[in-house]
Amino acid sequence: MKTYVALALAAPALVSAQQSMWGQCGGIGWTGPTNCAAPAACSTLNPYYAQCLSAVGQQTTTASTTRSTTAQTTPATTPATTTVATTMRTTTTTSSGPVGTGLDNLIKAKGKKYVGFCADPGTLSNSQNAAILRNEGGQLTAENSMKWESLSPNSQGSYNWGNADQLVAFAENNGKILRGHTFVWHQQIPNWLKNINNKATLTSAIQTHIAAVMGRYKGKIYAWDVANEVFEDNGSMRDSVFSRVFGDWTFLDVAFNAARAADPNAKLCLNDYNLDYSSAKLTNFVALVKTLKNRGVPVDCVGSQSHLVVGNGAIPSYKTTLDSLATTNTEVQITELDIRTTASPSSSQISQQVTDYKTVVSACMKTSACSGITVWGVSDKDSWVPSTFSGQGYALIWDNNFNKKACYQGFVDGINS
């Protein structure tokens, strides 16, 4: 659930200092050089990020901007490290490449937006995975490659774009929409971020990071999980560097407002797990979203991860929880669906899994606010479940050999219910 120029945070730059080509030259919270060395000129990309770009043939940055120094052929095992670019170069625009002929087409025919899967370059490197993604899905979520620690592990302002760029290129070349995942999360964040203990510094870090990442992929990402897992299971605010430093929920205001400024057309989501049954967590999650929206924070969608267990007694009432989420008047998305059981299930467990997939998918189909479903992986071969839950597995709809499992039909039956 897993490089720009260094920011001059220590002291304001001298007036005479000049930023080199591709460096940051402005934006909310920026205290470094604001002049660019020739032939570059400072170009404002969004309120939080301005960059030194070539003054020769310079164009206004738009959603279709395609310049970058990171080649799309960078191997997944050696991600490119750059000190440039808030926009990404691809050799094609969004193409009319293969569109899903399986689950995604079925759900679109019934009026929903997508069936999707999480993926990263390692997933895409397997031809069988890639074929399933092309033929069955219409949407991809970055499993790990867009998390803060993956993009900027070593120092603030230094970015590794290679893996994220590859995922974006695959989506564009195959006609898939993308969900970005994730900015504000208590896990998989770099040590330099964890060590921040000043509100102004953390505010600037959030704003600058979101502006950099969303600026690079502006117009290429359908929705972003701006914040992830901000609640403990008992419904209280989760302990994190964000909650400790801010002391309240206003870190979400900072993140969502920065995201809206960076890409006004992207859907901005609050995502969490264990929203699958009536609980204090679900109640408080819904209340928080309503509170944020009432004070003008741009929350467009809510995500229910839906990591479920075969035969769990809450699954039959899953529709009720989607209805609760829909009271936020936002788009509701099932964002990380899998339904696990024992690694070597019995025939009765397999049969129950078919029923459970049908129940969950049917609930989305019968909830007008539910726009789509993302399955958290392609095949059991790559599922996160076995390494996290001892003795558990068999959670996805293709097996270790990329064969459709019985629960695939449960998914289809849910769409058609």
Strand 331-342 vs strand 392-393: parallel, antiparallel, or unpaired? Answer: antiparallel
Of 314, 310, 311, 334, nearest in space to 322 by CA: 334
The amino acid at residue 83 is T
Complete DSSP assignment for 36-80: E-TTEEEEEEETTEEEEEESTT-----TT----S--TT--TTS--
Given 136, 143, 172, 229, the catalytic residue: 229
**How would you classify residue 403: left for phi > 0, otherwise alpha for psi between -120 and 50, otherwise beta?**
beta
- Burial per residue of 311-325, b for 16 or more beta-carbon CB atoms within 10 angstroms, e otherwise: eeeebeebbebbbbb
The verdict on whether 136 is a catalytic residue reads no
* 317 DSSP assignment: G
d(CA 147, CA 166): 15
The verdict on whether 229 is a catalytic residue reads yes
The amino acid at residue 254 is V
Residue 127 makes CB contacts below 8 A (sequence gap 6+) with none
d(CA 404, CA 225): 29
State the SS3 of 329-380.
CCEEEEEEEEEEEECCCCHHHHHHHHHHHHHHHHHHHCCCCEEEEEECCCEH
Given 136, 143, 172, 336, the catalytic residue: 336
| Active-site residue list | 229, 336
